[in-house]
Chains A and B, each alone.
Chain A
């Protein structure tokens, strides 16, 4: 299992993508704090942008990890990313304003423990394992936190567990209509878990190219942002939800067209209703 099948050749080095991912996600999460400063929820869409940047970084981490011949493990990498990320994210929300940084630190701790267990106890002995699982845990935590900000407007535990329900024109506090009480976190979990593994899972093969995969990651991120923004109509004012929805939709349409263009560039041929071409020897 330790034979490295393919390496990242050319393109942007992984470290650069990782640093850019961490910085962009943290900045976006903190920009959403403008919600508190301006006493609105207009800046919730920054959560969605944090999701996109974390997913781009995460998809490349999966590429690095899965280059070590664990082809069928691509979807499970997405699952462990969010399984460990949800622990870090939930615990971090208790830290108030430092929540995003707390998510980073707790994610690193959880990831290192999981990486150690799989490499040393389960004896997988994959060189990139510890670093990749650590990165993936942080990706999961950032993505879930981004979804939380997008849907509720805040990343503190209070904003995720207190909502209000209007009965006969009277607003009553309610735990049921919240990110955690309504289990929207389950939706965010799978939205992120599939979005982080899909780009590499969809683009793997001998003709893998980095720009195409990263474009696919951005596309998955914006698509998830779009549907999450629609869910946010239930929890944030309509104006803020509309902003997030429009940004998600425009971002998705742009990246989707780009991705299709890159696939056309990389494909052997692009045929419409043509028979199987003749190949020598068959």
Chain B
């Protein structure tokens, strides 16, 4: 019983860390226009819409975050193998991983922008300096929280995987959660605030992203502010729930019929979530969207 109470306590702590990590991850990736919104930011200058938005495309979010987290975890693992204190090891590992992230961000921005020479898109050095540092700060929070939760799984809950492998798994999960949950706010709506809500992007409007802010020209910090309000917390809740429920079902039910209990509960949870998701989707379409039934093709 004591074990279960201890396990649930650690699970709650890990869930909280995951929520913070998810929120920071989405804010970071949206400031960098990574993932979903990226294609339009990349396309805009080609359609004549020169902009001041940061564009750091480093693969999709899942592989990118896979790397940052597995790197933080690998470095932390090495520092711990050198008999360094775990807290110090995780902090140092995260710092070095963030350094790599920052370097990748700058090379991605200048590279992509230099290739748009034909369309007159300039490289803005001030964007490079101010956005990269802000994404690095957010990435540090995301990496530190995720590596810490991997360490807790390994050290406190006795997960058999070594730290880097846990970092690999949860890093990709973190990127996927942020990419699937947080990005659509930015990529589908915020870039197209000048279009009818929920209308999608007509081809004629491709690349016509919102480039001007309440005052002056919009840059990615405005997107960070916006994401911190809605998309970030949503991603945090998503990743937090994934991690928490995953561990919760394992800790409580793994003793039932040699582990099958946890698997059955997992399947049940997927079913429950599928029903909830479908209900919300249908409700959302009916309430907000101009989603008319497709008309039969007229002959």
Contact between B58 and A276 (Cβ–Cβ < 8 Å)? no
A79, A194, A201, A230: most-surrounded residue (chain B CB, <10 A): A194
Q: Of A191, A232, A272, which is in contact with the most chain B CB atoms at under 10 Å from its CB? A: A272
Tell me the residues in window 42-86 of chain B with beta carbons closer than 8 Å to chain A beta carbons. 42, 46, 48-52, 57-60, 63-64, 66-67, 70-71, 73-75, 77-79, 81-82
B100 within 8 A of A: yes
Query: How many chain B residues touch A (Cβ–Cβ < 8 Å)?
Result: 58
| B196 CB within 8 Å of chain A | no
Roughly how many angstroms separate A183 CA and B111 CA in the complex, as a whole number?
A: 32
In whole angstroms, what is the CA distance A20 to B74 when docked?
Answer: 31
Cα–Cα distance between A205 and B42 once the two chains are bound (Å): 9
Q: Mark A197-235, 1 if CB is under 8 A from B, else 0.
A: 111011111111000110010011001000100111111
Shortest CB-to-CB span from A70 to chain B, Å, is 14
Is B298's CB within 8 Å of the partner chain A?
no
B162 at the interface (CB under 8 A from A): yes
| B92 smallest CB distance to A (angstroms) | 9
What are the interface flags for A252-272 relative to B under an 8 Å C-beta threshold, 1 for contact and 0 otherwise?
100010011011101111111
Chain B contacts of A271 at CB under 8 A?
122-125
Say yes or no: A194 contacts B104, CB within 8 Å.
Answer: yes
A183 touching B165 in the complex, CB below 8 Å, given contacts A190-B63, A198-B104, A223-B103 = yes
Question: Contact: A190 with B168, CB < 8 Å?
Answer: yes
* Nearest-CB residue, chain A, relative to B80: A234
Query: Are the C-beta atoms of B115 and A208 separated by less than 8 Å?
Result: yes
Interface of B is mostly: helix
Task: Kindly state the separation between the CA atoms of A210 and B5 in the bound complex, as whole angstroms.
Answer: 59
Please state if A276 and B57 are interface contacts (CB–CB under 8 Å).
no
Q: Is A274 an interface residue (CB 8 A)?
A: yes
Chain B residues with Cβ below 8 Å from A264 are 114, 123
Q: How far is the CB of A178 from chain B (nearest CB, A)?
A: 10
Closest to B52 in A: A276
B179 sits at the interface (CB 8 A): no
Q: Which residues of B contact A7 (CB under 8 A)?
A: none
Assess whether A269 is in contact with B122, with CB atoms less than 8 Å apart: yes
State A183–B67 Cα separation when bound (angstroms): 14
Cβ-defined contact, A234 with B81, below 8 A: yes
The answer to whether B117 touches A207, judged by C-beta atoms less than 8 angstroms apart, is yes
- Could you tell me if B124 and A274 are in contact, using CB atoms closer than 8 angstroms? yes
Q: Measured between C-beta atoms, what is the minimum distance from B270 to chain A in Å?
A: 26
A206 to B119, CA, bound (A): 9
Q: Which residues of chain B from 126 to 150 have a CB within 8 Å of any chain A CB?
A: 126
Contact, CB under 8 Å: A277 / B50: yes
Whether, in the assembled complex, A176 has its beta carbon less than 8 Å from a beta carbon of chain B, the answer is yes
Is the CB of A78 closer than 8 A to any CB of chain B? yes
Please give, as numbers and ranges, the residues of chain A lying within 8 Å of B79 by CB-CB distance: 234
Nearest-CB residue, chain B, relative to A275: B217
Name the one of B63, B116, B167, B211 contacting A268, with C-beta atoms under 8 angstroms: B116
Note all chain B residues with C-beta closer than 8 A to A78.
Answer: 59, 63
A182 pairs with B114, CB closer than 8 A: no
Docked CA distance A187–B75 (Å): 9
CA–CA, A161 and B189, complex, Å: 51
| Complex Cα gap A235–B80 (Å) | 12
Complexed CA–CA distance, A203 and B107 (Å): 9
Q: Which residues of chain A are within 8 angstroms of B71 by Cβ–Cβ distance?
A: 187, 190-191, 227
- 26 pairs across A/B with beta carbons < 8 Å? A78-B59, A183-B77, A184-B164, A190-B63, A191-B71, A193-B67, A194-B59, A194-B67, A194-B104, A203-B114, A206-B116, A207-B115, A207-B116, A212-B111, A232-B78, A234-B77, A263-B110, A266-B114, A266-B117, A267-B110, A270-B122, A273-B124, A273-B126, A275-B52, A275-B217, A276-B50
* Residues of A that sit less than 8 Å from B by CB: 74-75, 78-79, 165, 176-177, 181-184, 186-187, 189-191, 193-194, 197-199, 201-208, 212-213, 216, 219-220, 223, 227, 230-235, 252, 256, 259-260, 262-264, 266-277, 279, 281-282
